[in-house]
């Protein structure tokens, strides 16, 4: 038992706790834990972490329904095989203090709010998927390519809450994709956006939507989703003003639907830009977009965060969503919009870039910036892509 998650004295030499990027050298993997390990997103975390070059998943937790059993005894619903090492791990109750310093959360929102705060108070760095803390003024709502500077909120978060650990969130799945696209268009100042989503069934968790409702049907309502797209995007694109985020002024009108697709959220977007841009300008902005994860060569960072498609029948969920490890955003059908100026189609993997993969990338940035008191050093330089 580790007891309360304490600070380790072996931080990399020269590491700044407040955001300096430090060169780290090779060392053993960093032990990580996972809250909500048994759910739909939790299983994607398990899959991604099983082969992660920096992290080693050693601690799992879920509800009392699962606690006390070996992970491999519980249903596994992904086509990728479950690793033997993880299958033998016990599933714990949500018990702060016993887990490693870095903990991912794929908890249901009904329990995530209180539990994640408790873990942060006990010294854990919680990297969460859940919605509960996303809009807290001192919690970063992070997409590493878009707003890495928002990590500066952590200092205020720890001071205000008296936490030794911290809490970092990733956005709602549909929001990640819209925010990435609008971030690429920042040079042309996006002013107004209309977006309609066609969201996959896996986004509703397991067992999710009843088959009777989902089959050959479109469900025109997803509770809370439209508000998240509209508000979270403004926070993500917002500017850091001292220790506060000033929300971006872009006005977003969202309509969200659930469609009988297994994985992959499609979004039909129209955007008004304050600065004139040609089709070539916009395509170049999408294709050339990149950020800190690409500069640092973080292991989960796609080399090219936004992939543009020229064929008029792409991107398609079935054909494109799994490419590039599910971490890239796909954009196609860019054309003039008679109402707002430009329109296009987006596609992203809701369980990877929209959930587990997003959180893993967030954690990689925390390590790269030496924000946590990582007990191990990892070789970032060796992962850097030219």
CB 233 → ligand NAP: shortest distance, Å? 15
- Pick the binder of ligand NAP from 65, 69, 279, 335 (CB under 6 A): 65
351 binds ligand NAP (CB under 6 A): yes
Told to check if 173 binds ligand NAP by CB under 6 A, we report yes
Q: Which stretch binds ligand NAP (CB under 6 A): 7-15, 190-198, 203-211, 267-275?
A: 203-211
Output the six-digit token pair for 25. Answer: 């050298």
Closest approach of Cβ 316 to ligand NAP, in Å? 19
Is 205 a binder of ligand NAP (CB under 6 A)? yes
Which residue's CB is nearer to ligand NAP, number 106 or number 168?
A: 106
CB of 353 to ligand NAP, least distance (A): 10
Longest alpha-carbon distance in the chain: 62
Helix, strand, coil shares of the chain, percent, nearest 5, are: 30, 20, 45
Q: What is the dihedral of CA 175, 130, 319, 48, to 10 degrees?
A: 130
Q: What is the distance between the alpha carbons of residues 216 and 206, in angstroms, rounded to a whole number?
A: 19
201-211 as b/e: b if 16+ CB within 10 A: bbbbeeeebee
42 binds ligand NAP per the rule CB under 6 A:
yes
β-strand pairing of 306-309 with 329-337: parallel
Cα 289 to Cα 358: distance, rounded to the nearest angstrom: 17
Alpha carbons 11 and 95: distance in angstroms, whole number: 26
Contact stretch for ligand NAP (CB under 6 A) within 129-137, 180-188, 276-284, 298-306 = 129-137
Judged by CB under 6 A, the number of residues near ligand NAP is 31
Residue 99 binds ligand NAP, judged by CB under 6 A: no
Footprint of ligand NAP (CB under 6 A): 36-42, 62-63, 65-66, 94, 106-112, 129-131, 173, 202-203, 205-206, 350-351, 354-355
């Amino acid at each position: 038992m580790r007891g309360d998650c304490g600070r380790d004295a072996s931080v990399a030499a020269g590491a700044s706790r407040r955001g300096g990027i430090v060169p780290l050298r090779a060392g053993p993997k960093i032990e990580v834990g996972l809250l909500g390990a048994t759910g739909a997103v939790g299983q994607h975390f398990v899959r991604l972490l099983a082969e992660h070059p920096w992290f080693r998943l050693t601690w799992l937790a879920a509800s009392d329904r699962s606690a006390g059993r070996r992970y491999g005894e519980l249903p596994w619903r992904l086509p990728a095989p479950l690793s033997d090492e993880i299958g033998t791990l016990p599933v714990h109750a949500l018990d702060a203090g016993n887990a490693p310093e870095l903990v991912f959360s794929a908890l249901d929102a009904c329990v995530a709010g209180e539990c994640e705060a408790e873990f942060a108070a006990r010294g854990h760095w919680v990297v969460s998927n859940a919605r509960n803390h996303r809009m807290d003024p001192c919690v970063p709502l992070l997409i590493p390519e878009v707003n890495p500077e928002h990590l500066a909120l952590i200092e205020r978060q720890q001071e205000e809450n008296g936490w030794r650990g911290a809490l970092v969130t990733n956005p709602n799945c549909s929001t990640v994709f819209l925010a990435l696209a609008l971030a690429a268009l920042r040079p042309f100042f996006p002013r107004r956006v209309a977006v309609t989503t066609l969201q996959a069934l896996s986004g509703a968790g397991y067992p999710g939507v009843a088959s009777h409702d989902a089959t050959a049907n479109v469900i025109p309502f997803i509770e809370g989703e439209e508000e998240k797209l509209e508000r979270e995007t403004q926070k993500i694109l917002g500017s850091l003003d001292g220790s506060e985020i000033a929300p971006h002024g872009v006005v977003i009108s969202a309509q969200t639907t659930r469609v009988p697709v297994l994985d992959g959220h499609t979004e039909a977007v129209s955007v008004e830009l304050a600065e004139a841009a040609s089709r070539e300008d916009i395509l170049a902005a999408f294709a050339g977009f990149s950020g800190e994860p690409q500069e640092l060569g973080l292991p989960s960072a796609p080399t090219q965060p936004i992939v543009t498609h020229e064929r008029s029948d792409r991107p398609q969920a079935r054909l494109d969503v799994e490419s590039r490890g599910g971490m890239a955003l796909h954009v196609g059908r860019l054309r003039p919009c008679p109402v707002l100026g430009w329109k296009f189609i987006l596609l992203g993997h809701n369980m990877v870039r929209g959930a587990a993969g997003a959180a893993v990338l967030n954690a990689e940035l925390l390590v790269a910036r030496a924000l946590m008191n990582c007990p191990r050093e990892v070789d970032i330089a060796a992962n850097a892509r030219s």
